[in-house]
């Protein structure tokens, strides 16, 4: 797709579903509940909500606007707003590409687990107990095989391009996932022990607050809204000019936060229900045994209590989660691929296979050195790089981009913008508050 024949989302709902598809993924269903469970539940929830609304949402508007203005890959889009220093602008674009690629490299491993968990119960039912144990036990060979499978799925969808690949998948399947969530939440709340989890999740214990919590919650908010690494910039570039950016950003942020909140509503009660049923989740002192695979322990334990329906529901849930992860991973791979297409003149197939293959190689290296590399790559990219690139976008939009040009860009889909509350606050907010607040969150635990 050369820039003169750029793919566009064919409908507004298609875009919302695709952008929400990028946002909703393992960050919501694995990252958020795991962090909430290990950080005092409600205390984390409160800080997270503050981070989403006060920092991530304004930055989502900024990132979508940069992309829609450029109508091009992140490198060109950034250059188009920083015309005086195109080299540096391109350099930031490059850092975003590298960040998106490394996020994808660890994300594919996690998402591979979803694939193996999706098929394990069926294999077990068919009588292949050993095989099904292999599928759910942590092991290098399992990790490698399913990482390759998930990476190939990502590559295949990205090969097909915007409207055909990305939009079609997201619009059809995202709503189904929401429905399944509601059913599962209703079920878990009828089980013994659920109330203890609900209480932990909804009644804040302020003694749990500490500086590190703010850094974690901010990283989680940026990760969950796919910010800082160019994904939302690319998706913004596929948006038509008549779209109201602040409104669409608010819709995407609300859907994403709604799903994260619901995932907590499911996982925290499910933890205590599982404990009631004898699954060892907590140490004697009441701390979580291991957090990384918490969700992968708790959910199958819940499905098991449901009998045969549980097998079906478990299968449906993990398949839908694979798809949710896929709508996120494609938005990561789309960042380097769109850049290679426009900047290097590669065609989509070449860009997708070469870059997708290279990222898969990185995933394989991480799989082979899991203990040393997985957490490191995940933390550096999501806790540090995403918010720090957010600071860069805030400075670009707030200080470097000509205010009138910025206004004109947003105005095209929101003609009455100057009369509204949004325009009175947002430009100043992005200029001063966002960069300072992000840096302060980092500085606080150091002080
Ligand atoms: N937001 C996605 C999730 O919650 C992850 C993601 C990060 C997607 C960065 C794109 C870019 O799973």
* Residue among 287, 290, 295, 282 at smallest CA distance from 208: 287
Q: What CATH code is carried by the domain that includes residue 152? A: 1.10.4160
pLDDT given for residue 167 in this prediction: 67
**Spacing, Cα 390 to ligand 1 middle (Å):** 14
Asked if 362 contacts 151 with a C-beta cutoff of 8 angstroms, the reply is: no
Q: What is the DSSP letter of 407?
A: H
Strand partners, 282: 288
Q: Kindly state the DSSP code that residue 3 receives in the 8-state scheme.
A: G
Instruction: Dig out the tokens for 222 from the structure.
Output: 């940026």
393 near 229, Cβ under 8 Å?
no
* Residue 2 confidence (pLDDT): 37
**The dihedral of CA 117, 192, 255, 288: what is its sign?**
negative
Task: Name the DSSP class of 301.
Answer: H
Tell me how far apart the alpha carbons of residues 59 and 397 are, in angstroms, rounded to a whole number.
10
Q: Which phi-psi region, left, alpha or beta, contains residue 46 (left: φ > 0; alpha: ψ -120 to 50)? A: alpha
What's the number of domains the chain is made of? 1
DSSP 8-state assignment for residue 165: I
Q: Which structure tokens are listed for 388? A: 């720090």
The residue segments making up the domain with residue 264 are: 3-446
Residues of the chain below pLDDT 70: 1-7, 9-10, 162-167, 169-170
Residue 3: per-residue pLDDT = 39
Per-residue model confidence (pLDDT) at position 7 = 65
In short, whether 229's Cβ falls inside 6 Å of ligand 1 is yes
**DSSP result, 17-46:** HHHHHHHSSHIIIIIHHHHHHHTTTHHHHH
In this prediction the pTM is 0.93
The CB of 103 under 6 Å from ligand 1? The reply is: yes
CA of 145 relative to ligand 1 center, distance in Å: 22
User: Residue 1: what pLDDT?
Assistant: 38
The preferred substitution site among 264, 331, 338, 390 for testing ligand 1, maximizing ligand atoms within 8 Å of CB, is 331
Distance 162 CA to ligand 1 centre (A): 17
Per 3-state DSSP, what percentage of the chain is helix, strand, and coil (rounded to 5)? Answer: 80, 0, 20
* Closest-lying ligand 1 atom to the alpha carbon of residue 26: 12
């Amino acid at each position: 797709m050369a820039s003169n024949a750029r793919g566009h989302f064919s409908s507004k709902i298609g875009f919302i579903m695709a952008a929400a598809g990028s946002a909703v993924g393992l960050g919501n269903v694995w990252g958020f509940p795991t962090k909430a469970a290990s950080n005092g539940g409600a205390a984390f929830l409160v800080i997270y909500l503050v981070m989403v609304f006060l920092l991530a949402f304004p930055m989502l508007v900024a990132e979508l606007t940069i992309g829609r203005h450029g109508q091009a890959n992140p490198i060109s889009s950034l250059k188009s707003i920083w015309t005086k220093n195109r080299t540096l602008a391109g350099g930031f674009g490059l850092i975003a590409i590298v960040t998106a690629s490394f996020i994808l490299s660890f994300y594919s491993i996690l998402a591979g687990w979803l694939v193996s968990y999706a098929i394990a119960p069926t294999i077990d039912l068919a009588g292949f107990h050993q095989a099904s144990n292999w599928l759910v036990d942590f092991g290098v060979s399992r990790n490698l095989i399913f990482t390759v499978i998930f990476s190939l799925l990502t590559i295949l969808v990205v090969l097909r391009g915007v409207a055909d690949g990305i939009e079609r998948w997201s619009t059809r399947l995202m709503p189904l996932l929401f429905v399944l969530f509601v059913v599962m939440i209703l079920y878990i709340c009828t089980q013994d022990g659920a109330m203890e989890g609900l209480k932990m999740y909804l009644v804040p214990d302020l003694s749990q607050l500490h500086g590190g919590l703010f850094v974690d919650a901010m990283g989680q908010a940026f990760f969950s809204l796919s910010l800082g690494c160019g994904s939302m910039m690319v998706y913004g570039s596929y948006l038509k000019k008549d779209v109201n950016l602040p409104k669409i950003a608010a819709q995407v942020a609300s859907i994403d936060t709604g799903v994260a909140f619901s995932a907590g509503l499911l996982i925290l009660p499910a933890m205590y229900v599982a404990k009631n049923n004898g699954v060892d989740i907590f140490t004697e002192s009441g701390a979580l045994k291991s957090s990384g695979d918490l969700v992968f322990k708790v959910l199958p334990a819940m499905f098991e209590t449901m009998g045969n329906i549980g097998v079906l529901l478990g299968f449906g849930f993990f398949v839908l989660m694979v798809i949710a992860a896929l709508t996120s991973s494609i938005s990561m791979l789309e960042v380097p691929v769109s850049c290679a297409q426009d900047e290097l003149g590669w065609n989509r197939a070449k860009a997708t296979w070469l870059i997708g293959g290279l990222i898969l190689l990185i995933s394989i290296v991480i799989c082979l050195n899991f203990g040393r590399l997985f957490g490191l790559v995940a933390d550096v990219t999501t806790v540090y790089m995403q918010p720090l690139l957010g600071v860069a976008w805030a400075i670009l939009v707030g200080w470097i981009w000509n205010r009138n040009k910025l206004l004109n860009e947003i105005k095209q889909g929101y003609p009455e913008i100057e009369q509204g509350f949004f325009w009175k606050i947002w430009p100043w907010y992005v200029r001063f508050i966002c960069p300072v607040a992000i840096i302060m969150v980092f500085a606080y635990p150091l002080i």
